[in-house]
Amino acid sequence: MKLDAKIPSGPMAGKWEKRKFEGKLVNPSNKRKYNIIVVGSGLAGGGAAASLGELGYNVDCFCFQDSSRRAHSIAAQGGINAAKNYQNDGDSVYRLFYDTVKGGDFRSREANVHRLAEVSAAIIDQCVAMGVPFAREYGGTLANRSFGGAQVSRTFYARGQTGQQLLLGVYSALSRQIGAGQVRMHPRTEMLDLVVVDGHAKGIVTRDLITGKIESWAADAVVLATGGYGPVFYLSTNAVGNNVTAAYRAHKKGALFANPCYTQIHPTCIPLSGDHQSKLTLMSESLRNDGRIWVPKKQGDTRTPGDIPDAERDYYLERMYPSFGNLAPRDISSRAAKRACDEGRGVGPGRLGVYLDFRDALSRLGDDTIRQRYDNLFDMYERITGENAYNMPMRIYPAIHYTMGGLWVDYDLMSNVPGLYVLGEANFSDHGANRLGASALMQGLADGCFVIPYTIAEYLAGTAPGEVGTDHDEFKKSQNEVSDRIRALLSVNGKRSATSFHRELGLLMWEKCGMARNEAGLKSALEMIPALREEFWENVKVTGSGNDLNSELERAGRVADFLEFGELLVTDAITREESCGGHFREEYQTEEGEAMRDDENFSFVGAWEYTGETPILHKENLEFEEVHLAVRSYK
Amino acid sequence: MKQIAHWYLSSIGAKLVMAVTGVLLFGFVLGHMTGNLLMFAGPDAMNAYAHFLQEKGMLLLAVRAGLLAIFAVHIASAIRVHRQNRAARPEPYAVSSYLVTTYAARTIFVSGLIVLAFVIYHLLHYTLGVTNPEFLRMLDPQGRRDVYGMVITGFTNRAVALSYIVAMLLLSSHLSHGLTSLFQTLGLHGPKFKPLVNKVGPAVAIVIFIGFASIPLAVLSGRLN
Amino acid sequence: MILTLRIWRQKHARDKGRFETYEMKGVSPDMSFLEMLDVLSDSLVDRGEDALTFDNDCREGICGMCSLTINGVPHGPDQGGTVCQLHMRRYKEGDTITIEPWRVSPFPVLKDLAVDRSAFDRIIQAGGYITTNAGSAVDANAILVPRADAETAMDAAACIGCGACAASCPNGSAMLFVAAKVSHLAHLPQGAPERAQRVLSMVSQMDQEGFGNCTNHSECEAVCPKEINVSHIAKINREFIRAAVKSIF
Ligand SMILES: Cc1cc2nc3c(=O)[nH]c(=O)nc-3n(C[C@H](O)[C@H](O)[C@H](O)COP(=O)(O)OP(=O)(O)OC[C@H]3O[C@@H](n4cnc5c(N)ncnc54)[C@H](O)[C@@H]3O)c2cc1C
Ligand code: HEM
Ligand code: FES
């Protein structure tokens, strides 16, 4: 299979203009004849459904939560980037483009990233018009902050709830289209299969999560915006419902899965407290502005932190990265924490944690200043841990946070299956091997509101509307497969709950394929995952029936997909014999323990084809015309 | 007209009507109480005041009719609102524990109903003289109706006096929530004067209670005779 | 810790439902409330019984999906938080905890502790938006918003749509939810053109859904996980009066 990214020719800055002009259009009076399915109602899916509805297409939008407003985009805290240069501090489209490519450790597609930077400004305009209450200066203009180590202040924010406010903006636009009858919303409906007819995506099969009804939906194009697959690690900062099911089923129907091994770790999460744990809570990185990170110098030191004198503390980030110190980038500070814990110097229950200490900041700035800056975070910390961070250091540990990999898409965001578009975190396109803070929200809205409305017309213009209906054999086949699988899950009647398998898979993934990976570990994971999967199908216990609201059944279906997908992720990690961004292979590091890229051999997108047996790797070579390959350094 | 009916039938509309009628009724209650307090100024003052009112003839009738209409609208809205609320919350929680609402707020419909019953009794008692026809025939030395004497005689009956006091307690309870609530209903509420507004209802309610209840109490204790 | 849980179990919307009592052993104070229910549910599955159904997703207090009434209080005893943020250290050995679904007619129970809150979505569909198509916006800084207004709008916009306000209200009123949305948009210049129509349509939809009337108990404010102030209800009342008066003249 030849992967054609269909990147417009010509200079970088003119590619999107050119693409918009050359693309085919659908006549306004014909738009209503086209049905489009959008799966997902986050920033990407919700934005797409609303925008396509506004254009006059007939849209059906699906999500598994009880309301489109609850998609996981809601949880983003920090902010959204845009090249507005409102602060007059030297930002520009080019700089945002440059930072994103570099931040992605040179594993993203330049043309896509450039377009993302170009449309970023329009996103902020649109959000303000929708009523998103961004933070403001006294003069009434928008406020910005610098985020994630960026040198310019380009992040727009709404308190610590930026994702929520953006999603509510999108939700309101979507609600308007639903009210107008242009979009039909199907909440509590899970996509369980993609239907491909003669090589083209023509619909989906879903399960109504309340009645259990399996249903077919036909359309002229299918848009997937189903978010990331972080919970393949079981514990992550993601919502517990996030899953890979929709993307994976599309993968099984022919869509290539790109770079699954690119996963991002966030360094400031609240550590694990026990086996019961179901998720890890992220705390804003801003805490690192005033907190100092340390572990005891001695292994297995069980003294309370207050009893450990400064001389016996190791402020390891300050020691190793004197110029960035506690503000070293996410992946670097995460790995440093892991190293400290691996050396037996971790703190807290299970010894998987490091201290984030405000002692010095409190004595320098006083309680009041710290309270002003971080009170809600200190509260949140206390709620979860029962410890008061004014009196003793916080404990933090890295956790899985974001997944850069996803279904392969071309410049138009269409997968290799014609008619299947993939947006947001579910695709692979813009963040390379590592995502910069505040860029995921930007990508979701860019894809949904400003890219897909243009690019989908190209495909639709070449397709007669309503060609295939749900009476087509492929729908019947697909529906039967889905029903059989549900029956199979219900009939195993073993001894272990789906959650227990999920937990075991997650732990395995985290240990063998988490923050740091090596060949031996990955190989053993490749043996363990199939065995676990086999046990799952022999020993899982799913109670209840398939004909009503059955959260056990939903979970089991998702875990079953994770058990297959995990193997693909590990396969990708083993194949990529270099360290880049969120993918750190211990074999490929400098003497100082920094990641070592291999641009010679691995400057490609690894897109996997499903075969039922060993997956086949297809490579899309990455060319860097604008940004010159360089080694990231934060010393 | 259709528009207006439409808003009246909406939840906020109904509440606005209750607030406005509530304020008017409260105005009457306040006036009535001030008038009643003339009892303490002696028979002459009291009877002169009553006479003054009765002389107004048609005007008095018009005011009474207006008051009755307002009362009716207040009650009609109350019944509708109450029924809608019951329908929206048919099942209580097995464990019920309220955090901030007051007893007065939760029983406002009941206190209203009892006030209604009282008002009916009150009208039959003193105004229409149905329960005690002899009251209407009492005259003072100047030949005016002896309202003063009528009140004293009425309240020397302990049961009657007690029922008046209880009714006033419920009216106060009604107002202690109602008078705070109406600021919110009319949109005259904000974080800045919230603490003040929250005190207005209970404070005024206490004044109203003392004002009304002082009369039967004074009669019972023999201070008025 | 050993606890006694009395949990509402209901097979489906038409089932009458009843309380079941479960003895819960080995509860760790570090568990979140929902994690405790996970453990219970898992043990039910082990015994071959139906798992416990309760809505949840983000488990960090922002998606608004979790919705349990604990001992009569929606979202439980901690102020300013959702039930997914509640941790078991709040309880002590031997406590009995009664867990019920939201109980308001417009939120029918689907199963066990999960309810249908689509009524809220329909209220937003009736007018809880600003009409603007993607691509039609002017430069963001062309619209100046005084900081205080932006802050007040944000206070209201913080609503997560969980429904605790209606669930806590003795009258089953959704006023705090509707008020938060109306107030959020009414405080911004972008929301001005549709201001009158918005409040009338949304209130009308709220009534059609069968929510009760606000008689200012303020229970909603007390249980609101985002601590949204009832002064927004005064604001929606003002908006309603304004819109009503405007449309007569
Ligand atoms: C705690 C946290 C904080 C973050 N902070 C930031 C930040 O500050 N800045 C930033 O830029 N990014 C941040 N991110 C990342 C960012 O929030 C996400 O990457 C982004 O919102 C994803 O949007 P999306 O639209 O692609 O997917 P989502 O918002 O996850 O939406 C997925 C949608 O797909 C639906 N869906 C999934 N599977 C199915 C199925 N099988 N059937 C039907 N529907 C399905 C879901 O119901 C949902 O509607 C953060 C992420 C987390 C977890
Ligand atoms: C002297 C008689 C009465 C006075 C002065 C009075 C006054 C008030 C006032 C000021 C309010 C507040 C309105 C608002 O919140 O906007 C109110 C509310 C109310 N009244 Fe009355 N009322 C009287 C009689 C009655 C009667 C007879 C009933 C009936 C059954 C009644 C039932 C109610 C109810 C149900 C409310 C709404 C509760 C609320 O808003 O909190 N009232 N009343
Ligand atoms: S689960 Fe999202 S708010 Fe509780």
Q: Write down the pTM of the prediction.
A: 0.97
Question: Which pLDDT score is estimated for A372?
Answer: 82
- Rounded mean pLDDT of B60-80? 96
Cβ(A556)–Cβ(A499) below 8 Å: no
Domains, chain C: 3-111 (3.10.20.30), 117-248 (1.10.1060.10)
Ligand 2 pocket list (CB less than 6 A): B 15, 18-19, 22-23, 25-26, 29, 74-75, 78, 81-82, 105, 108-109, 112-113, 115-116, 174, 177-179, 181-182, 185; C 215-216
Closest partner residue to B88 (CB to CB) among C6, C106, C219 is: C106
Q: What is the largest CA-CA distance in chain B?
A: 64
Q: Do C213 and B14 touch (CB under 8 A)?
A: yes
Our CA-based measurement puts residue A497 at a distance from the nearest CA of chain C, in whole angstroms, of 7
- Judged by CB atoms closer than 8 Å, whether chains meet at B94 and C72 is answered as yes
The answer, yes or no, to whether ipTM is higher than 0.90 is yes
Residue A42 sits at the vertex; the CA angle it makes with A39 and A48, to the nearest 5 degrees, is: 65
Pick the atom of ligand 1 nearest to A228's CA: 30
CATH number at residue A326: 3.90.700.10
3-state SS record for A580-596: ECCECECCCECCCCCEC
A385 shares its domain with A282: yes
- Assess whether A330 carries a catalytic annotation: yes
- CA distances for C70 relative to A1, A146, C44, C52, C77, angstroms: 57, 41, 20, 15, 8
Q: What DSSP letter does each residue of A247-263 carry, written as one string? A: HHHHHHTT--EE-TT-E
B74 CA distance to ligand 1 centroid (A)? 50
> Amino acid identity, residue C82?
T
**Whether the predicted pLDDT of A85 surpasses 80:** yes
Residue A435 has pLDDT above 70, yes or no: yes
Tell whether A292 and A380 lie within a shared domain: yes
Q: Would you call C221 and B100 a contact, using CB atoms and an 8 Å cutoff?
A: yes
From the candidates A115, A330, A503, A597, give the one annotated as an active-site residue: A330
For A241-273, how does the pLDDT look when each residue is reduced to its tens digit (9 = 90+)?
999 999 999 999 999 999 999 999 999 999 998
Domain membership flag for residue A254: no
CA distance A373 to C206: 39
Q: Does residue A529 belong to any structural domain of this protein?
A: yes
| C234/B100 Cβ within 8 A | no
Query: How many angstroms separate the CA atoms of A61 and C147, rounded?
Result: 36
Please indicate, yes or no, if residue A440 is contained in any of the structural domains: no
The whole-angstrom distance between B150's CA and the closest CA on chain C is 39
What's the gap in Å between the CA of C45 and the closest CA on chain A? 6
Question: In this structure, is residue A559 part of a structural domain?
Answer: yes
Cα separation of the two ends of chain A: 42
Would A521 be classed as within a structural domain?
yes
CA distance B195 to chain C (A): 12
Tokens 């399996």 correspond to A214
Neighbours of A362 (CB within 10 A): 18
Mean pLDDT of A473-493: 98
What share of chain A has pLDDT > 90, as a percent? 89
Write out the DSSP string of A387-447: --TTTS-EEEEEEEEEE--EE---TTSB-SSTTEEE-GGGB-SSSTTSPPTT-HHHHHHII
Left if phi > 0, otherwise alpha if psi is -120 to 50, otherwise beta: which for A628? Answer: beta
Q: Ligand 2 mean position to B71 CA, how many Å?
A: 9
Q: Which domain holds residue A393?
A: 267-399
- What does the angle CA A29 – CA A32 – CA A38 come to, to the nearest 5 degrees? 140
Find the mean pLDDT for residues A439-458. 98
Residue among C19, C218, C237 whose CB faces B187 most closely:
C237
Residue with the bigger pLDDT between A148 and B210: it is: B210
Q: Is residue A307 part of a domain?
A: yes
**Residue-wise DSSP of A309-353:** -GGGEE-HHHHH-TTTGGG--HHHHHHHHHHHHHTT---SGGG--
Torsion of CA A219, A222, A223, A225, to 10 degrees: 110
Q: Tell me, what's the pLDDT at A317? A: 94
How large is the average pLDDT for residues A408-429?
98
| A107 close to A433: Cβ distance less than 8 angstroms | yes
pLDDT (tens, 9 = 90+) of chain C, 249 residues, equals 999 999 999 999 999 999 999 999 999 999 999 999 999 999 999 998 999 999 999 999 999 999 999 999 999 999 999 999 999 999 999 999 999 999 999 999 999 999 999 999 999 999 999 999 999 999 999 999 999 999 999 999 999 999 999 999 999 999 999 999 999 999 999 999 999 999 999 999 999 999 999 999 999 999 999 999 999 999 999 999 999 998 887
Tell me whether C1 touches chain A (CB under 8 Å). no
Distance set, CA C240 to CA B12, B79, C214 (Å): 8, 22, 14
Of the partner residues B7, B13, B105, the one whose CB lies closest to the CB of residue C217: B105
Q: Is A319 part of a structural domain of the chain?
A: yes
Domain count, chain A: 2
Question: Cβ contact (<8 Å) for C207 and B10?
Answer: yes
| Rounded distance between C-alpha atoms, residue A291 and residue A145, angstroms | 19
Is pLDDT of B195 > 90? no
Which pLDDT score is estimated for A20? Answer: 96
Q: What residues contact A435, with CB distance under 8 A and at least 6 apart?
A: A103, A104, A264, A402, A404
List domains and CATH numbers for chain B: 2-221 (1.20.1300.10)
Give burial (CB, 10 Å; 0-12/13-18/19+) of B88.
buried
Considering only A145-149, A498-502, A559-563, B164-168, which range has the smallest mean pLDDT?
A145-149
Range from A159-168, A371-380, B131-140 that averages highest in pLDDT = A159-168
Per DSSP, A449 falls in state I
Same domain assignment for residues A485 and A395: no
Distance of CA A519 to the CA centre of its chain: 25
State the Cα angle at A20 between A107 and A619, rounded to 5°.
25
CA geometry: angle C158, C164, C167, nearest 5 deg: 150
C58 lines ligand 3 (CB under 6 A): yes
**Cβ of C172 below 6 Å from ligand 3:** no
pLDDT band at A634 (very low <50, low <70, confident <90, very high): low
Residue A460 in any domain: the answer is no
Cβ of C171 within 8 Å of Cβ of B89? The answer is: yes
The residues, ordered by sequence, that sit 6+ positions from B203 with a Cβ below 8 Å of its Cβ are none
C161: left (phi over 0), alpha (psi -120 to 50) or beta: left
Q: Is C35 in the pocket of ligand 3 (CB under 6 A)?
A: no
Q: What is the pLDDT of residue A374?
A: 85
Per-residue confidence (pLDDT) for residue B121, from 0 to 100: 94
* Alpha carbons B68 and B71: distance in angstroms, whole number: 5
Q: What is the CATH number of the domain that holds A548?
A: 1.20.58.100
